[in-house]
């Protein structure tokens, strides 16, 4: 059985679908601090399979031990964490407490029960402002906010863990910008309040909840002056986790992979792709640059392709169409 921490969330729920479709048994631990219980029902509805759900906090050692007591956990995919960059600057202690302590409790419990295969959700944020693009896995790491620092620290903690005990098999996955939703329109990304991220924000403009998009800067040294990112369909990203799990099952060590498409799109390109998907013209205004943003970020995908046998397949049109379907069904 695979334990998925944060499995009720955006990427976790899609990954549970892919795991169940691939024939794995799945247990989820999630405290629902940033997700809803009905995503568990929707995972079951999409796959026609059952999942075990524990509504618990991963920092609660007794609760985590109980899960390992009740189930034979073969490997863990660890998504649970707080992820809002701006909020992490406002309430850093909450971010360090939640993201770091939950990982320590998880790893201590895994070690106690002899489960030493772990796939961890890291982020392209650990590359800081890269000196060049595309970004390779061996580029230097740095961060500019507490959220990013938790990712960097956890990468180091897991690496130290393997140094101390080489039976551990750890895969660090650095995601670029996951967007889109499941083709069923049942699960997707539905943040609380005003969205921080580009595509959820555009989705709310398209559905009429927000008036216009603020484009944060049009004077970057990029193709049209707006920020360039590597947007990846959440279903492609989830499939990458199944491949990462196979990797963890096949060898020990710490292996790090970028999960991106290798192609960068600007803010305006994404806006126009979304306009095509929803059939409307969407208003936007040029606003000042957002503090901490970098001009351009996209992945070198060579290593994940050669070592995991994985590459992204869905294009921007599909990402926007699936996001729009989910938005219409759920907002």
Using CB atoms within 10 Å of the CB of residue 113, give its burial: 0 to 12 exposed, 13 to 18 middle, 19+ buried: middle
Backbone angles phi, psi at 255, to 5 degrees: -120, 135
Euclidean distance between CA atoms 133 and 178, whole angstroms: 18
Give the distance between the most distant pair of CA atoms in the chain: 56
Residue 198 touches which of ligand NAD, ligand UFG, none (Cβ within 5-8 Å per kind): ligand UFG
Of 2, 3, 10, 271, the residue at the interface with ligand NAD (CB under 6 A) is 10
Nearest one of 151, 123, 59, 64 to 97, comparing CA atoms? 59
147 is catalytic: yes
Q: How many CA atoms lie within 13 Å of 264's alpha carbon, on the beta-carbon side?
A: 18
Residue 98 touches which of ligand UFG, ligand NAD, none (Cβ within 5-8 Å per kind): ligand NAD
Which one of the spans 76-84, 107-115, 266-274, 305-313 is the region binding ligand NAD (CB under 6 A)? 76-84
Secondary structure tally for the chain: helices H, strands E: 12, 13
User: Distance from first CA to last CA of the chain, Å, rounded?
Assistant: 34
Q: H-helix or E-strand containing 236?
A: helix 234-250
Question: Per-residue contact track with ligand NAD, 43 to 72, x per CB under 6 A?
Answer: --------------xxx-------------
Q: Which one of 147, 175, 220, 257 is the catalytic residue?
A: 147
Residue 267 touches which of ligand UFG, ligand NAD, none (Cβ within 5-8 Å per kind): ligand UFG
- Within a 10 A sphere around the Cβ of 166, how many other Cβ atoms? 11
Q: How many residues does the chain have?
A: 331
11 touches ligand UFG by CB under 6 A: no
Name the minimum Å distance from CB 72 to ligand NAD: 21
Name the minimum Å distance from CB 261 to ligand NAD: 14
> What residues numbered 166-205 form the site for ligand UFG, per CB under 6 A?
176-177, 196-198, 201
Which one of the spans 73-81, 209-217, 295-303, 307-315 is the region binding ligand NAD (CB under 6 A)? 73-81
Name the minimum Å distance from CB 66 to ligand UFG: 31
Euclidean distance between CA atoms 179 and 159, whole angstroms: 29
> What residues numbered 96-135 form the site for ligand NAD, per CB under 6 A?
98, 102, 121, 123
Nearest one of 274, 268, 266, 288 to 205, comparing CA atoms? 274
Name the minimum Å distance from CB 285 to ligand NAD: 24
33 touches ligand NAD by CB under 6 A: yes
- Within a 10 A sphere around the Cβ of 192, how many other Cβ atoms? 8
CB proximity list for 325: less than 8 A, separation 6 or greater: 181, 183, 185
Which one of the spans 27-35, 67-75, 307-315, 319-327 is the region binding ligand NAD (CB under 6 A)? 27-35
12 touches ligand NAD by CB under 6 A: yes
Q: Which amino acids are annotated catalytic?
A: 147
Contact residues for ligand NAD, defined by CB under 6 A = 6, 8-12, 29-35, 57-59, 79-83, 98, 102, 121, 123, 175, 177-178
């Amino acid at each position: 059985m695979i334990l998925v921490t944060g499995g009720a969330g955006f990427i976790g729920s899609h990954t549970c679908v892919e795991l169940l479709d691939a024939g794995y048994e799945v247990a989820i631990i999630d405290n629902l601090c940033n997700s809803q219980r009905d995503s568990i029902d929707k995972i079951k509805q999409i796959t026609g399979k059952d999942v075990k759900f524990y509504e618990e906090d991963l920092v609660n050692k007794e609760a985590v031990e109980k899960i390992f007591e009740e189930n034979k956990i073969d490997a863990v995919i660890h998504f649970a964490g707080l992820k809002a960059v701006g909020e992490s600057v406002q309430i850093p202690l909450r971010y360090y407490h939640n993201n770091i302590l939950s990982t320590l409790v998880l790893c201590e419990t895994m070690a106690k029960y002899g489960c030493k295969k772990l796939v961890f959700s890291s982020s392209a944020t650990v590359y800081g402002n890269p000196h060049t693009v595309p970004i390779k896995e061996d580029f230097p790491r740095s961060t500019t906010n507490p959220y990013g620092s938790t990712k960097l620290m956890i990468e180091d903690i897991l690496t130290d863990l393997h140094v101390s005990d080489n039976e551990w098999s750890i895969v660090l996955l650095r995601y670029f910008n996951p967007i889109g939703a499941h083709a069923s329109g049942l699960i997707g990304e539905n943040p609380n309040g005003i969205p921080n991220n580009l595509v959820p924000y555009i989705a709310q403009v398209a559905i009429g909840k927000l008036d216009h998009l603020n484009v944060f800067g049009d004077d970057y040294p990029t193709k049209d002056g707006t920020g360039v990112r590597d947007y990846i369909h959440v279903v492609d990203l989830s499939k990458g986790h199944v491949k990462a799990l196979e990797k963890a099952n096949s060898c020990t060590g710490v292996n790090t992979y970028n999960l991106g498409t290798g192609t960068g799109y600007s803010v305006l390109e994404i806006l126009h792709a979304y306009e095509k998907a929803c059939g409307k013209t969407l208003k936007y205004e040029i606003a000042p640059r957002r503090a901490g943003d970098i001009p351009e970020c996209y992945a070198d995908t060579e290593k994940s392709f050669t070592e995991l046998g994985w590459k992204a397949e869905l294009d921007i049109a599909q990402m926007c169409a699936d996001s729009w379907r989910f938005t219409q069904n759920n907002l």
